């Protein structure tokens, strides 16, 4: 029997951490729930300087990439929490084979969506 409360606690903790990281990097569109990276204020002020503008673009792209990675993880965490809330037994089941996800895998990553056999699909 899986300890859902334990995983829920881990997921809530991670969700709070990810929300903090997301809000440091960008802002959420309240209509779509999607996150977008902040534009740099310094970059806008120096748009006439070509070198600074290039730096600004690079910073923005780096920030947008990092934000995208964090957002992917954030969505997995939210989906895992939703499965626990639904209490329909879907949490901890492989989305590919429908088998139980190994407990050591869930302990390492409670937002896992697939068992070890299918984790790279």
- Which residues here bind Zn ion, judged by CB under 5 A? 94, 96-97, 115, 117-118
Q: What is the closest distance, in whole angstroms, from the C-beta atom of residue 98 to Zn ion in the complex?
A: 7
Q: What is the closest distance, in whole angstroms, from the C-beta atom of residue 75 to Zn ion in the complex?
A: 20
Compare residues 21 and 100 and give the one whose CB is closer to Zn ion. 100
Compare residues 19 and 102 and give the one whose CB is closer to Zn ion. 102
Compare residues 17 and 105 and give the one whose CB is closer to Zn ion. 105
Q: What is the closest distance, in whole angstroms, from the C-beta atom of residue 7 to Zn ion in the complex?
A: 18
Long-range CB contacts (within 8 A, 24+) of 72-80: 73/18, 73/111, 74/15, 74/18, 74/19, 74/22, 76/111, 76/113, 77/11, 77/14, 77/15, 77/18, 77/111, 78/15, 79/111, 79/113, 80/7, 80/11, 80/110, 80/111, 80/112, 80/113
């Amino acid at each position: 029997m899986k300890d859902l409360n334990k995983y829920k606690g881990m997921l809530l903790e991670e969700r709070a951490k990810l929300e903090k990281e997301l809000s440091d990097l960008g802002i959420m569109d309240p209509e779509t729930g999607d996150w977008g990276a902040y534009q740099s204020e310094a970059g806008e002020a120096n748009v006439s300087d070509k070198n600074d503008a290039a730096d600004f673009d690079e910073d923005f792209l780096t920030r947008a990439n990092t934000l995208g990675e964090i957002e992917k993880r954030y969505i997995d965490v939210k989906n895992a929490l939703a499965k626990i809330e639904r209490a329909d037994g879907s949490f901890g089941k492989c989305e590919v084979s429908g088998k139980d996800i190994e407990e050591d895998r869930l302990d390492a990553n409670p937002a896992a969506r697939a068992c070890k056999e299918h984790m790279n699909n």
